[in-house]
Amino acid sequence: MAYQLIFEDRFDQGLVDENVWTFETGGHGFGNKESQFYTPYPHNIDLSKGYLTLIGRKESYQDNAYTSAKITSYPHMLFEYGKLEVEAILPKGHGTWPAIWLLGKNFKEGTKWPLCGEIDLMEHVGHHPNHIHFSLHSQARHFTQGNQLTHEEVIEDVYEKPHLYGMIWRNDHITFLLDGKEIVSFDKGPHETEIEWPFNQPFYLIFNIALGGSWGGPIHDDHLPTYMHIKRVSYYKEV
Protein backbone atom coordinates (compact mmCIF):
# COMPACT_ATOMS: atom_id res chain seq x y z
CA MET A 1 0.00 0.00 0.00
CA ALA A 2 1.34 3.44 -0.98
CA TYR A 3 1.01 6.52 1.19
CA GLN A 4 1.20 10.25 0.51
CA LEU A 5 2.49 12.58 3.23
CA ILE A 6 -0.31 15.00 4.16
CA PHE A 7 1.14 16.71 7.22
CA GLU A 8 4.40 16.75 9.14
CA ASP A 9 5.76 18.81 12.02
CA ARG A 10 9.35 18.37 13.21
CA PHE A 11 9.09 21.14 15.82
CA ASP A 12 12.39 22.61 14.59
CA GLN A 13 11.31 26.23 14.11
CA GLY A 14 11.68 27.27 17.75
CA LEU A 15 7.97 28.00 18.24
CA VAL A 16 4.82 25.93 18.51
CA ASP A 17 2.78 26.33 15.32
CA GLU A 18 -0.44 27.77 16.70
CA ASN A 19 -2.14 27.08 13.37
CA VAL A 20 -1.91 23.41 14.33
CA TRP A 21 -1.42 23.04 18.09
CA THR A 22 -3.34 24.27 21.12
CA PHE A 23 -2.20 24.35 24.74
CA GLU A 24 -4.72 22.84 27.14
CA THR A 25 -4.57 24.13 30.70
CA GLY A 26 -6.11 23.14 34.01
CA GLY A 27 -5.63 21.12 37.15
CA HIS A 28 -8.92 19.42 38.01
CA GLY A 29 -7.60 15.85 38.03
CA PHE A 30 -9.04 14.99 34.60
CA GLY A 31 -11.20 12.17 35.94
CA ASN A 32 -8.14 10.22 37.08
CA LYS A 33 -7.18 12.08 40.30
CA GLU A 34 -4.05 13.43 38.59
CA SER A 35 -1.87 15.86 40.55
CA GLN A 36 -0.54 18.23 37.87
CA PHE A 37 -1.69 21.61 36.60
CA TYR A 38 -1.16 21.91 32.85
CA THR A 39 0.35 25.28 31.90
CA PRO A 40 1.32 26.88 28.56
CA TYR A 41 4.52 28.35 30.00
CA PRO A 42 8.16 27.85 28.91
CA HIS A 43 9.12 26.02 32.10
CA ASN A 44 6.73 23.24 31.00
CA ILE A 45 7.20 23.45 27.21
CA ASP A 46 10.52 23.92 25.41
CA LEU A 47 11.51 23.95 21.74
CA SER A 48 15.05 25.28 22.04
CA LYS A 49 16.75 21.99 21.14
CA GLY A 50 15.03 21.50 17.79
CA TYR A 51 12.14 19.38 19.03
CA LEU A 52 9.13 19.72 21.32
CA THR A 53 9.79 18.95 24.97
CA LEU A 54 7.05 18.61 27.59
CA ILE A 55 8.29 18.99 31.17
CA GLY A 56 6.71 17.74 34.40
CA ARG A 57 7.88 19.56 37.53
CA LYS A 58 7.49 19.63 41.29
CA GLU A 59 6.05 23.14 41.48
CA SER A 60 3.07 24.62 43.30
CA TYR A 61 0.60 26.30 40.97
CA GLN A 62 -3.13 27.04 41.32
CA ASP A 63 -3.48 24.77 44.38
CA ASN A 64 -1.69 21.90 42.62
CA ALA A 65 1.69 20.60 43.78
CA TYR A 66 2.97 19.84 40.28
CA THR A 67 2.98 21.38 36.80
CA SER A 68 3.18 19.80 33.38
CA ALA A 69 2.07 20.33 29.77
CA LYS A 70 -0.64 19.11 27.43
CA ILE A 71 -0.86 19.97 23.74
CA THR A 72 -3.61 18.99 21.30
CA SER A 73 -4.28 19.40 17.59
CA TYR A 74 -7.91 20.44 18.16
CA PRO A 75 -9.54 22.21 16.34
CA HIS A 76 -6.97 22.86 13.62
CA MET A 77 -5.71 19.40 12.68
CA LEU A 78 -8.01 16.38 12.69
CA PHE A 79 -7.23 12.83 11.65
CA GLU A 80 -9.43 10.19 10.03
CA TYR A 81 -7.95 7.06 8.44
CA GLY A 82 -4.47 6.77 6.97
CA LYS A 83 -1.15 6.31 8.77
CA LEU A 84 -0.11 8.41 11.76
CA GLU A 85 3.34 8.25 13.37
CA VAL A 86 4.87 10.12 16.32
CA GLU A 87 8.59 9.90 17.12
CA ALA A 88 9.27 10.39 20.83
CA ILE A 89 11.60 9.82 23.77
CA LEU A 90 9.61 9.10 26.92
CA PRO A 91 9.90 10.60 30.41
CA LYS A 92 10.92 8.38 33.29
CA GLY A 93 10.31 8.33 37.01
CA HIS A 94 7.76 6.92 39.43
CA GLY A 95 4.48 8.80 39.18
CA THR A 96 4.88 9.80 35.53
CA TRP A 97 2.06 8.93 33.13
CA PRO A 98 2.90 10.10 29.60
CA ALA A 99 0.62 9.49 26.65
CA ILE A 100 0.37 10.05 22.91
CA TRP A 101 -3.30 9.57 22.16
CA LEU A 102 -6.40 10.70 20.29
CA LEU A 103 -9.99 11.53 21.19
CA GLY A 104 -13.00 11.76 18.90
CA LYS A 105 -13.72 15.33 17.79
CA ASN A 106 -17.24 14.95 19.15
CA PHE A 107 -15.80 14.96 22.69
CA LYS A 108 -15.35 18.71 22.20
CA GLU A 109 -18.95 18.94 21.02
CA GLY A 110 -20.52 17.38 24.11
CA THR A 111 -20.21 13.63 23.59
CA LYS A 112 -19.00 12.00 26.78
CA TRP A 113 -16.02 9.69 27.18
CA PRO A 114 -15.83 6.81 26.32
CA LEU A 115 -18.62 7.10 23.73
CA CYS A 116 -16.41 9.57 21.85
CA GLY A 117 -13.71 6.91 21.47
CA GLU A 118 -10.05 6.95 22.48
CA ILE A 119 -6.98 5.69 20.64
CA ASP A 120 -3.76 5.31 22.63
CA LEU A 121 -0.76 5.31 20.30
CA MET A 122 1.47 5.13 23.37
CA GLU A 123 0.68 5.04 27.07
CA HIS A 124 3.19 4.37 29.82
CA VAL A 125 3.49 4.59 33.60
CA GLY A 126 6.82 5.13 35.29
CA HIS A 127 6.32 2.54 38.00
CA HIS A 128 6.29 -0.11 35.24
CA PRO A 129 9.47 0.77 33.34
CA ASN A 130 9.78 0.09 29.62
CA HIS A 131 6.23 -1.28 29.26
CA ILE A 132 4.26 0.45 26.50
CA HIS A 133 0.50 0.11 26.02
CA PHE A 134 -1.42 0.46 22.74
CA SER A 135 -5.19 0.59 23.31
CA LEU A 136 -8.66 1.34 21.95
CA HIS A 137 -11.49 2.49 24.22
CA SER A 138 -15.20 2.60 23.39
CA GLN A 139 -18.50 2.77 25.23
CA ALA A 140 -18.61 -1.02 25.27
CA ARG A 141 -14.92 -1.64 26.01
CA HIS A 142 -12.87 0.73 28.15
CA PHE A 143 -10.32 0.72 30.95
CA THR A 144 -12.74 1.46 33.79
CA GLN A 145 -14.35 -1.89 32.97
CA GLY A 146 -10.99 -3.52 32.31
CA ASN A 147 -12.05 -4.81 28.89
CA GLN A 148 -10.46 -2.30 26.52
CA LEU A 149 -8.77 -3.58 23.37
CA THR A 150 -5.11 -3.39 24.35
CA HIS A 151 -1.62 -4.71 23.73
CA GLU A 152 1.58 -4.34 25.74
CA GLU A 153 5.17 -4.26 24.49
CA VAL A 154 8.45 -4.13 26.44
CA ILE A 155 11.06 -1.75 24.97
CA GLU A 156 14.32 -1.53 26.88
CA ASP A 157 15.48 1.95 25.80
CA VAL A 158 12.37 4.14 25.67
CA TYR A 159 14.01 6.76 27.91
CA GLU A 160 17.29 6.98 25.99
CA LYS A 161 16.41 6.96 22.29
CA PRO A 162 13.45 7.91 20.10
CA HIS A 163 10.94 5.33 18.99
CA LEU A 164 8.21 5.65 16.40
CA TYR A 165 4.68 5.05 17.73
CA GLY A 166 2.01 4.81 15.07
CA MET A 167 -1.02 3.21 13.51
CA ILE A 168 -2.57 2.32 10.19
CA TRP A 169 -6.22 3.27 10.48
CA ARG A 170 -8.93 2.06 8.13
CA ASN A 171 -12.69 2.10 8.51
CA ASP A 172 -12.84 -1.48 9.77
CA HIS A 173 -9.54 -2.00 11.59
CA ILE A 174 -6.66 -0.27 13.36
CA THR A 175 -3.15 -1.71 13.28
CA PHE A 176 -0.65 -0.34 15.77
CA LEU A 177 2.95 0.19 14.68
CA LEU A 178 6.21 0.31 16.62
CA ASP A 179 9.26 1.61 14.74
CA GLY A 180 7.41 0.99 11.49
CA LYS A 181 6.56 -2.64 12.24
CA GLU A 182 3.02 -3.92 12.70
CA ILE A 183 2.58 -5.28 16.23
CA VAL A 184 -1.18 -5.79 16.74
CA SER A 185 -4.45 -5.24 14.85
CA PHE A 186 -7.98 -4.77 16.12
CA ASP A 187 -10.93 -5.30 13.77
CA LYS A 188 -14.45 -3.93 13.70
CA GLY A 189 -17.01 -6.71 14.06
CA PRO A 190 -19.57 -7.16 11.27
CA HIS A 191 -22.48 -5.93 13.39
CA GLU A 192 -20.69 -3.41 15.62
CA THR A 193 -21.93 0.16 15.91
CA GLU A 194 -20.33 3.29 17.36
CA ILE A 195 -20.93 1.76 20.80
CA GLU A 196 -18.24 -0.83 20.09
CA TRP A 197 -16.34 0.94 17.29
CA PRO A 198 -16.45 4.77 17.46
CA PHE A 199 -13.47 5.05 15.09
CA ASN A 200 -15.30 6.14 11.92
CA GLN A 201 -15.05 9.87 12.60
CA PRO A 202 -12.37 12.57 12.91
CA PHE A 203 -10.08 12.45 15.95
CA TYR A 204 -7.58 14.95 17.36
CA LEU A 205 -4.09 14.21 18.66
CA ILE A 206 -2.88 14.83 22.23
CA PHE A 207 0.53 14.80 23.94
CA ASN A 208 0.77 15.07 27.72
CA ILE A 209 2.63 14.06 30.85
CA ALA A 210 0.23 13.37 33.70
CA LEU A 211 1.65 13.06 37.20
CA GLY A 212 0.21 10.71 39.80
CA GLY A 213 -3.40 9.71 39.47
CA SER A 214 -5.25 6.43 39.47
CA TRP A 215 -2.71 4.68 37.24
CA GLY A 216 0.35 6.89 37.54
CA GLY A 217 0.56 6.13 41.26
CA PRO A 218 2.74 7.80 43.92
CA ILE A 219 5.05 10.51 42.61
CA HIS A 220 8.73 10.36 43.54
CA ASP A 221 9.71 14.03 43.70
CA ASP A 222 13.40 13.19 43.35
CA HIS A 223 12.63 11.88 39.84
CA LEU A 224 11.48 15.34 38.73
CA PRO A 225 11.73 17.27 36.52
CA THR A 226 10.97 14.74 33.81
CA TYR A 227 10.91 15.25 30.05
CA MET A 228 9.05 13.90 27.02
CA HIS A 229 10.67 14.80 23.70
CA ILE A 230 8.45 14.81 20.60
CA LYS A 231 10.72 14.82 17.56
CA ARG A 232 8.13 14.65 14.78
CA VAL A 233 4.53 13.95 13.83
CA SER A 234 3.80 12.55 10.36
CA TYR A 235 0.38 11.86 8.83
CA TYR A 236 -0.16 10.01 5.54
CA LYS A 237 -3.16 9.10 3.41
CA GLU A 238 -3.43 5.96 1.31
CA VAL A 239 -3.15 6.55 -2.45
Distance CA 221, CA 217 (A): 12
- Each residue's pLDDT, cut to its tens digit, for the chain (239 residues) gives 799 999 999 999 999 999 999 999 999 989 899 999 999 999 999 999 999 999 999 999 999 999 999 999 999 999 999 999 999 999 999 999 999 999 999 999 999 999 999 999 999 999 999 999 999 999 999 999 999 999 999 999 999 999 999 999 999 999 999 999 999 999 999 999 999 999 999 999 999 999 999 999 999 999 999 999 999 999 999 99
In order of 29, 105, 123, 130, the CA distances from 96 in angstroms are 14, 26, 11, 12
**Under 8 Å between Cβ of 10 and 231:** yes
Helix (H, G, I), strand (E, B) or coil at 48: coil
Where does 3-238 sit in CATH, by number? 2.60.120.200
pLDDT of residue 104: 99
**Active-site residue numbers?**
118, 123
Phi-psi group of 33: left, alpha or beta (phi > 0 → left; psi -120 to 50 → alpha; rest → beta): left
Q: Among 111, 178, 173, 120, which residue's Cα sits nearest to residue 148?
A: 120
Enumerate the domain spans of the chain: 3-238
